Amino acid sequence: MIEGTHCHLIYDGQTVASKHRKHIRDHRRIKELKTYIKQKTQMSEAAFADIDWQSHERSINTFKDGPHIFLVKFLHPWEKRRKWLAALKTSLWHRCESVDTDRALLYLLLWGLNHWLQGTPIPAHRVPERIPHLLDSQTTKGWDNFLLGRWSKHWTTLQLQYLQRNHIEVKKKNHGLSWSSNIIRLMWDHCYKEWKTRNSARHGKDVEDKAQRRLETAHRGIRDLYDLKPRCSLQAQQHYFYPTVEDHFCRDTNTRSL
């Protein structure tokens, strides 16, 4: 009950017992995020409505660092992505096994990520007969959206049906939001770790290393400018350039350190 009133705050059919302002802020933020996603992806109304937004929201609220997934596909060569994917698949296999995941769902999850990174479609004959609608549903939304935590609602539905069909005890961690958000966060952890590794390699690990990288970047830019020197007028060459680029580095103290 909201303090000082006789009212309850209910969100998605569930009563919010505390931290009402935070829940309202989070709800507004998620609503704005959904609007942005819909505009950016140009997803159909049906596909957008079929996304398990509760799992998406749970994953966002429990993950502090944004998942930088696109660098894995677009900035890394395939050999680098292959190593990253192998590590991710191993982690996913162990995590899914520990929470009683349906093997059919696990295989589709791994195939989907593998074929998305390779840019190839999943062969229909590899999909178990009882879940082709899941393949169609997720493919319509895109497997990039799967990695971003925008899952079809069929994932959690089929997982629960599997548990009930095989008389496996339904626990908090093996179905519903806990099951799906657990797997999503694992994927994001791998993406974020890879992003940090690449960031350190590109920009340096500590202050000295970062300063050295900035200096190297500045030197490359200056060398590029000196390649254009012959195209400049004689007056411009005398005014803006030293005789050689090496003279520039020796005489200009600003390019000795940054």
What is the per-residue pLDDT for 258? 45
226 burial type by CB count under 10 A (0-12 exposed, 13-18 middle, 19+ buried): middle
Does 162 score more than 90 pLDDT? Answer: yes
Residue 9: in which H helix or E strand, if any?
Answer: strand 9-11
What pTM does this model have? 0.69
Asked whether the beta carbons of 198 and 73 are under 8 A apart, the reply is no
For the chain, the distance separating the N- and C-terminal CA atoms, rounded to the nearest angstrom, is 58
Question: Looking at the predicted structure, is the pLDDT value of residue 124 above 50?
Answer: yes
CA-to-CA distance for 185 and 191, rounded, in angstroms? 10
Q: Calculate the dihedral angle through the C-alpha atoms of 99, 183, 39, 35, rounding to the nearest 10 degrees.
A: 70
Quote the DSSP letter at residue 3: T
For 218-243, the pLDDT digits (tens) are 888 999 999 999 999 999 888 889 99
pLDDT band for position 256 (50/70/90)?
Answer: low
Residue 139's alpha-carbon distances to 25, 43, 148, 150, in angstroms, are 32, 12, 14, 11
Contacts of 148 (CB under 8 A, 6+ apart): 67, 69
